[in-house]
Amino acid sequence: MRLSFTASLTALALAFGLACAPAAHAQSKLKYAGVNLAGAEFNSSAKPGVVYKNYVYPTDTDFAYFADQGMNVIRLPFLWERLQPQAGATLDATQLSYIRTAVTRAKNHGLKIILDPHNYAKYNGQFIGSSSVPNAVFADLWRQLATAFANDDAVIFGLMNEPYSISATTWASAAQAGIDAIRATGAKNLVLVPGVAWTGAHSWNSSSAGGGVSNGDALAKLTDPANNLAYEVHQYMDAYYSGTSATCVSPTIGAEKLKGFTDWLRANGKVGFLGEFGAANNDTCMVALDGMLSYMESNRDVWLGWTYWAAGAWWNDSYMFSVQPDKAGNAKPQLAILADHARAITSAAKAVATRTAPPMMSQPALSKPATAAQAPVTAKTAAAVTTSKPVVQVAASVSMPKLVSASKPAAENPLVRAALRRWFATRDASTR
């Protein structure tokens, strides 16, 4: 099957001019491949919530499974308000211990881990940069996280998940505050910086999406004394780039929508990271998935890596993007493509590491936490989840019949989010 995908994509890439031959001769920066292990951010309306009832952190088995697929990085979404229940206060010791455990488990399996406050640039419903959540509050979160994980090479700092409804200029100021706070601790860890408008690659250069100034223009001005930044984008392949439909626009849509961002990276001497993308199990999307990954490989001089959305033990088997093995232990079809590309990337990265660095000492494995009954969950996508709580059935006219939590904040409700994305995509800068 992989051969048929590759052959199809190659022909389409030639037809659309997506291949980038010059990059093949440039120094490769592409070294990370992995998945999002979702769960700790679930049920965001339950603050702080109860672990293994409202939310869950990944088990050692989760990390082991994806390491066995040739992957070397995990993105770990979590909820800011759980980690820091009061703005500016000391981080919650229990939540920090959960994150520390996840970091140790990742390292035990040779994985890097991206810490991802999955908050859409908000804290308790108020946007970063507002009078309720000034940049200093955001900076304090990262000051404390950086202190906890300073210079741990396995830990990558993802500043924020998918800022939206704030301008690129406002977000750039907040991002700089976060970077400054991290570097003030002495931490030199890699930092991933997203853009606004849900950090879509397709809208990176759009001044309308950025509120008058594009992500590219606003964020290119960021400074980092450690010179260890990468720019994070997300890209879904449905008509509105929302991640709420099993339909992909075309077999080449993934590669096409990365091109403008890729050009920006190269023109500005930056590197990029694809933090979220997903594909349903159908012919068009599977070819598009393969093509998106192949495109990054063809442009490895400016791409650092990727994490697929999503895995995690609390996804229903029916969730269209899930690559968590099903209840019988069977692998999802998308995983064959992901693992193929991951092994190509990580084997090359290991070869380079072997030539340039001494071996790392292994750490003792942690015991697996006791299994608890799974509770209803709410995720950023409209996944069908097993639930005993009231839910609202999506209207039959919607192409993907899923269950959406009735308590989900409107702009994180995937259907509302899709509508907002359509609105932002068509709205003129003068109306923002």
What mean pLDDT is predicted for residues 224-234?
A: 99
Choose between 397 and 40: higher pLDDT: 40
Q: What is the pLDDT of residue 371?
A: 35
> Is 297 one of the catalytic residues?
no
- Secondary structure of 389-407 as H, E, C letters: CCEEECCCCCCCCCEEECC
271 CB-near residues (< 8 Å, 6+ apart): 29, 230, 231, 265, 302, 303, 304
Whole-model pTM: value is 0.81
94-113 pLDDT, tens per residue?
A: 999 999 999 999 999 999 99
Q: What is the pLDDT, as a whole number, of residue 350? A: 73
**pLDDT for position 358:** 52
Q: Please list, in sequence order, all residues whose beta carbon lies within 8 angstroms of the beta carbon of residue 367, skipping any fewer than 6 positions away.
A: none
pLDDT digits (tens, 9 = 90+) for 190-205: 999 999 999 999 999 9
Take residue 98 and report the two structure tokens written for it. 């959960």
Q: What's the token pair of residue 244?
A: 């709420």
Tell me, what's the pLDDT at 357? 52
Which whole-number Å values give the CA distances from 164 to 44, 134, 328, in the listed order? 17, 16, 38
CA nearest neighbour of 104 among 63, 137, 68, 134:
63
Catalytic residue among 41, 81, 256, 276: 276
- Cα 209–214–215 angle (5° rounding)? 95
User: Given pLDDT bands bounded at 50, 70 and 90, which one contains residue 356?
Assistant: low
Predicted pLDDT of residue 366: 35
**From CA 312, how far away is CA 306, in angstroms rounded?**
17
**Chain centre distance of CA 186:** 25
Tens of pLDDT, residue by residue over 132-154, are 999 999 999 999 999 999 999 99
- Output the six-digit token pair for 247: 């339909």
Question: Other C-beta atoms within 10 Å of 125: how many?
Answer: 10
Judge contact between 123 and 117, C-beta under 8 A: no
Calpha distance 116→38 (Å, rounded): 10
- Predicted pLDDT of residue 149: 99
At 197 the three-state DSSP class reads: helix
The distance in angstroms from the start CA to the end CA of the chain is 46
pLDDT at 55 over 70: yes
Tens of pLDDT, residue by residue over 244-258, are 999 999 999 999 999
Q: Which two tokens stand for residue 177?
A: 């505050």
How far apart CA 390 and CA 407 sit, in angstroms, is: 9
Do 382 and 402 contact (CB within 8 A), yes or no?
yes
367: Cα separation from own chain's centroid: 27
Cα–Cα distance between 274 and 232 in angstroms, integer? 6
Model confidence at 367, pLDDT cuts 50, 70, 90, reads: very low
Query: With contact defined as beta carbons under 8 Å apart, do 322 and 313 qualify?
Result: no
Active site annotation includes 162: yes
**Neighbouring residues of 138: CB distance < 8 A, sequence distance ≥ 6:** 123, 128, 160, 174, 177, 178
Structure confidence at residue 184 as a pLDDT band (50, 70, 90): very high
The alpha carbons of the chain give a radius of gyration, in whole angstroms, of 20
| pLDDT for res 383 | 39
- Domains in the chain, ordered, with CATH? 2-375 (3.20.20.80)
- Of 302, 301, 295, 300, which is closest to residue 277 (Cα–Cα)? 295
**pLDDT above 90 for 387:** no
**Residue matched to tokens 């223009």:** 217
The catalytically annotated residue of 81, 162, 232, 256 is: 162
